[in-house]
Each structure stands twice: as C-alpha cells, then as structure tokens.
Amino acid sequence: MDYARHQHSYSDDELCSGALFAKQMGVSGAAVSKATSKGRLDTFRNSRGEKCYHKVLSAQQWTLKKDRSKVTTPTRGQIAAGYDNMDAQAMAHVFGNENPQAPRPVSAPIQGMDFGSVVQERQELEVSKAEKEYHMARLAKLKADEKEGSLVDKQTVFLKGYQMGAMIQEKVMNMYVQLAPKICGHLQEQLANAGIEPEKLRLAMKDSNHEIGEIIRKESIIVLKDLSERTVDNFFD
C-alpha cells in the first residue's frame, strides 16, 4: 500500500529512497520494485510527496512476507559474506539475512517499539549449520527413496503436514504486518474526513501502527501455541 503523508506519522529521517533501501538490504533495485508491485512492501510519502521506504519497518516486511520456497540463490550481500545456495535457502526466514554485513538496529528508532526484542525472537529461530546439513541430507534421502518407490505413504503425509504447518505459521505471523497499517490508515482517513487538523491527527496516531501490530502479533502467538498443544483427539474442539 502507498501511504500518503497524512496517513502515517514517520519523519523524513525515518524514510529512504528505493535505491538506498536496496543497498541496505543487499539486493537489486529491480527486486525492490518487484516486491513493491506485488504488495510485499508498503511505501510512505515523505514531506515532498516522494515515494519512500521505512528503514526498519520495510526491512521487516521484506523478510516476513518472503516466499521461502522460491529462495534458490544468495543475494549480493550474502555473496559478499561468503554464503552459498544452501546457506541462502536455510537462512531465508532470518531477519536481516539478505545483507549480513549491513548494520543492525540496536534500539527502537520509534518510541514505544522495542526492536531489540523483535530481533532476539527472530534470532532464536535461526538454525545452526550442522542442523541445516542434517535436515538437507535427510530431505535428500527422502527424495531418493521416493524415486526408488520405497517411500511409504505415512512419510509423505508427515512431510506434507510439516510443510503445511510451516505455511500456516508463516501466514498467521505475517498478519500483523499487513493488518496494522491498513487499520491505522483507515482510522486516520476517517478522522481526517471528520475535520481533525493534520498535525493533531499525526500526534494522536503517532505510535498506533506499532501498538496495534503488537496486539495482533501477540494474539497470533497465543493462537499458534494453542494449536501446537492440541492432539488428534481434541484438535477440532
């Protein structure tokens, strides 16, 4: 979504051009343009009406809305850091992995949002190289067994179930990135139509995007935890 200046409270210092964002992420400008056109990235107009990206929020959207199944090769930033194809595939879900040499935010640039805890949560999901090699070898064995006709249906069901579970988890955990800006944008538009002055509206809605996003994110975690604790006997209760 392309947010007009009155629909967000970010200052020009918090925004950057598409070229600078591509350099920050270690990817090409064409990749950023494609992600924007497909709805993976929101844009925010600055005080001059130019279409920009948020230095922190857009980086999160880039990672959270990525289709991991389509990651086959490393980005420019990953190549510079010595990543191979296998590394890029295994690290596709880790925040900030597109450009490992880029500086990481150590505190929240926007008051009321602790990005340190967000980064920590993402790092807890990172797999070690040994674990990656083990799972890749196991997957290769499964594929070999399937070609030989020795892979039983039960194993296929388990593999498909794991993939489906990962897809559901990713969709649920991405909802807050998509819903929070839309909710805030709708509220701001309605309040602006009601005659509230732009400056008062900007101050009133300053941190709403992140606060609403945190509420949705925490509720999503509760839902996923509840689903993970269910058994075959009570799954549909």
pLDDT tens, residue by residue, 108-127: 444 444 445 555 555 555 55
Q: How many residues does the chain have?
A: 237
Residues 179 and 146 in one domain: no
Give the number of domains in the chain. Answer: 3
Strand, helix or coil for residue 177:
helix
Kindly state whether residues 146 and 191 are assigned to the same domain.
no
Residues near 54 by beta carbon (within 8 Å), at least 6 away in sequence = 10, 14, 15, 42, 44
Residues near 111 by beta carbon (within 8 Å), at least 6 away in sequence: 207
Mark whether 171 and 185 lie in a shared domain: yes
Instruction: Provide the pairing of β-strand 43-45 with 51-54.
Output: antiparallel
Q: Is residue 111 part of a domain?
A: no
213 domain-assigned: yes
Amino acid at position 24, single letter: Q
Which ranges of the chain would DSSP assign to H, the alpha helix? Answer: 18-25, 29-37, 57-64, 76-80, 85-90, 115-124, 129-148, 153-193, 198-204, 208-228
Which residue, of 20, 41, 65, is where some domain finishes?
A: 65
Name the pTM for this structure. 0.35
Separation CA 53–CA 222 (nearest Å): 30
Residues of the chain with pLDDT under 50: 95, 99-100, 102-115
Report pLDDT for 70: 60
Q: Which of 21, 45, 65 is the last residue of a domain?
A: 65
pLDDT at 95: 47
- Residue 132 is part of which domain span? 123-151
